[in-house]
A and B are shown apart, each in its own frame.
Chain A
């Protein structure tokens, strides 16, 4: 810390140059924060996936429904603790742009399967006892300003009603939340029985099954046993872990992780060139001063440390500012996009990774100038003074 003043003063020797460098670092880390948060949303399901939960879908495609008759057979499979199911409804609220996930489910088994969702007991009981009842996550309720008792009309894009209507009306009976900040609550759940009774087609089917593997059972063996049961049937199944399911779902949008990595790679490569050049220039300009410091007794390692610390300091100033502004923007984006892209979240891991990148980039940008300072010949440098 005693060298901080010296490092700080040196960093601000050329105010405009340092400010521009910090600005470029700021932009790079702002981008990093935004892309990390959006990337998190795309693979959000993977991160919050429970290793003990398996998903059973139609072998050909997720959009192919599976018979409800599979429920008992899956439940009876060795190693399965219990099963629930869900289906994709795909409607919108008031306008087509207001799209979010709506799922007809069995309230009791679904909430047993997802204990991370919290809802007051009386709201849950009300939901179970009302066939046209629905519950929504806190994010969704906040987005549309819904409160318990509201009647919410959802326009179907797939599931027309048996009477030809496309408007499904639900009574909002409860609002659930999750303690896990990574988990999204931008979804609506309603009674499968009501859906089954009212829909015009595909009766007797569900979208997918979700099962919990019994303690001590091998998830891979359980998955194989389920798929084997339905082999050579009209609806063969594909059973995978929740994480694998989430990953395959995400891949429908392209390899988001690769795209994010490529963009950030290009940004950080440019950043290294800019900041590396700044540090080299800065050290070149004060070779005589560095020689004076060495004359006064600053050792080789001390010189290396001082220049590297300056480089890291510049990265941290721009980077932390970028992450900070990014964090604020992410809060806004997460609220604004909760319904379309739930789970936009700047995770502590991403922040820690960002800080590690700042330090790493600082070292990379500063290492060559620092080595120059370390290897400086005092006599030659003083002769240049």
Chain B
């Protein structure tokens, strides 16, 4: 059996909306082996993004524990979580979320600013990351000068530049046409298979989910394995 990278045990997440308590996740258990590529599907409001936020240390569970790479996240302070995220997690968002004032290279370099690498080393690593996603020739372009697919590739380069073990993707192809979406998904497959990245991807798109090793269905705060069609 392969090594477990992330483990959720009895995780519940309850939000207080005014006087109402909304339980988004209910006593959820999940194990993510190292090197896995999981797609999480489900209707809006089913708790998919909340699950991703918990895995990425952006949110804390109301009950239960979240352990990633041996670190128990619920017991860590905000500052500890920030530092932990910078080295262990790569985030990929639906709308890319690149900084418009920085070039592609400088966007990719951002996570490395939190390291002790020299400027030269940071640029070198950012260039390699851009090369991996096939955008070495767009290093000096600003996000406004790139297509949606290219922007998402830059965002992926930013996510992998600090060599994290876990990539969390929130609807990474939700803003792209089919052809471009497939290119991005193939790139994620390469990162999973050739670079050993563990990937958890939230998506509404069944075709996108097909690129993952397995799919889970999230509904009403619980997870269940999705049968292959």
CB pair A2–B113 under 8 Å, yes or no, is yes
Asked if A274 CB lies within 8 Å of chain B CBs, one says no
CB pair B91–A296 under 8 Å, yes or no, is yes
CB pair B83–A300 under 8 Å, yes or no, is no
Q: B101: nearest residue on chain A (CB-CB)?
A: A9
CB pair A385–B97 under 8 Å, yes or no, is yes
Q: B53: nearest residue on chain A (CB-CB)?
A: A379
Asked if B44 CB lies within 8 Å of chain A CBs, one says no
A368-385 contact mask (Cβ, 8 Å, vs B): 1 or 0: 000000000011001001
Contact of A299 among B56, B82, B99 (CB under 8 A): B82
Within the complex, the shortest CB–CB distance from A11 to chain B, in Å, comes to 9
CB pair A289–B85 under 8 Å, yes or no, is no
CB pair A3–B101 under 8 Å, yes or no, is no
CB pair B82–A294 under 8 Å, yes or no, is yes
Bound Cα distance from A297 to B114, whole angstroms: 8
With contacts A298-B114, A379-B53, A379-B58 known, is A6 near B102, CB below 8 A? yes
With contacts A292-B97, A295-B58, A382-B93 known, is A300 near B119, CB below 8 A? no
Asked if A13 CB lies within 8 Å of chain B CBs, one says yes
CB pair A295–B101 under 8 Å, yes or no, is no
Asked if A329 CB lies within 8 Å of chain B CBs, one says no
- A interface residues, how many (CB within 8 angstroms): 25
Q: B102: nearest residue on chain A (CB-CB)?
A: A9
Within the complex, the shortest CB–CB distance from A381 to chain B, in Å, comes to 10
With contacts A6-B102, A6-B113, A289-B97 known, is A298 near B59, CB below 8 A? no
B99 — which chain A residues lie within 8 A by C-beta?
6, 9, 289, 292
B221 — which chain A residues lie within 8 A by C-beta?
none
- B interface residues, how many (CB within 8 angstroms): 27
Asked if B78 CB lies within 8 Å of chain A CBs, one says yes
CB pair B87–A297 under 8 Å, yes or no, is yes
Q: B88: nearest residue on chain A (CB-CB)?
A: A297
Bound Cα distance from A295 to B53, whole angstroms: 10
B65-102 contact mask (Cβ, 8 Å, vs A): 1 or 0: 00000000000001100111111000101010101011
CB pair A2–B82 under 8 Å, yes or no, is no
Within the complex, the shortest CB–CB distance from A355 to chain B, in Å, comes to 27
Interface residues of B in 103-143 (CB under 8 A from A): 106, 110-111, 113-114, 119, 122
Give how many A-B residue pairs fall within 8 Å (CB-CB): 67
With contacts A2-B119, A378-B58 known, is A297 near B85, CB below 8 A? yes
Within the complex, the shortest CB–CB distance from B77 to chain A, in Å, comes to 10
A382 — which chain B residues lie within 8 A by C-beta?
93, 97
Bound Cα distance from A302 to B95, whole angstroms: 24
Asked if A97 CB lies within 8 Å of chain B CBs, one says no
Bound Cα distance from A6 to B111, whole angstroms: 12
B114 — which chain A residues lie within 8 A by C-beta?
296-298, 302
Bound Cα distance from A337 to B212, whole angstroms: 81
A292 — which chain B residues lie within 8 A by C-beta?
93, 97, 99
CB pair B113–A295 under 8 Å, yes or no, is no
CB pair A385–B110 under 8 Å, yes or no, is no
Q: A303: nearest residue on chain B (CB-CB)?
A: B82
Asked if A259 CB lies within 8 Å of chain B CBs, one says no
CB pair A297–B111 under 8 Å, yes or no, is yes
Asked if A215 CB lies within 8 Å of chain B CBs, one says no
Bound Cα distance from A301 to B113, whole angstroms: 15
Within the complex, the shortest CB–CB distance from A4 to chain B, in Å, comes to 10
Asked if A217 CB lies within 8 Å of chain B CBs, one says no
Bound Cα distance from A302 to B111, whole angstroms: 13
Interface residues of A in 264-279 (CB under 8 A from B): none
Bound Cα distance from A378 to B168, whole angstroms: 15
Asked if A288 CB lies within 8 Å of chain B CBs, one says yes
Bound Cα distance from A293 to B93, whole angstroms: 13
CB pair B110–A299 under 8 Å, yes or no, is no
A9-B102, A296-B85, A378-B58 known; 14 other A-B pairs, CB under 8 Å? A2-B113, A3-B113, A5-B102, A6-B102, A10-B101, A292-B97, A295-B58, A296-B86, A296-B91, A297-B84, A300-B79, A301-B79, A382-B93, A385-B97
List 23 A-B residue pairs with CB atoms under 8 Å apart, sorted by A's residue number: A2-B113, A2-B122, A6-B99, A6-B102, A6-B110, A6-B113, A9-B102, A10-B101, A288-B97, A289-B97, A292-B99, A293-B110, A295-B56, A295-B91, A296-B86, A296-B91, A296-B111, A297-B83, A298-B82, A299-B82, A302-B82, A382-B97, A385-B97
Q: Which 6 A-B pairs have the closest CB atoms?
A: A297-B86, A9-B101, A299-B82, A292-B97, A297-B85, A296-B111
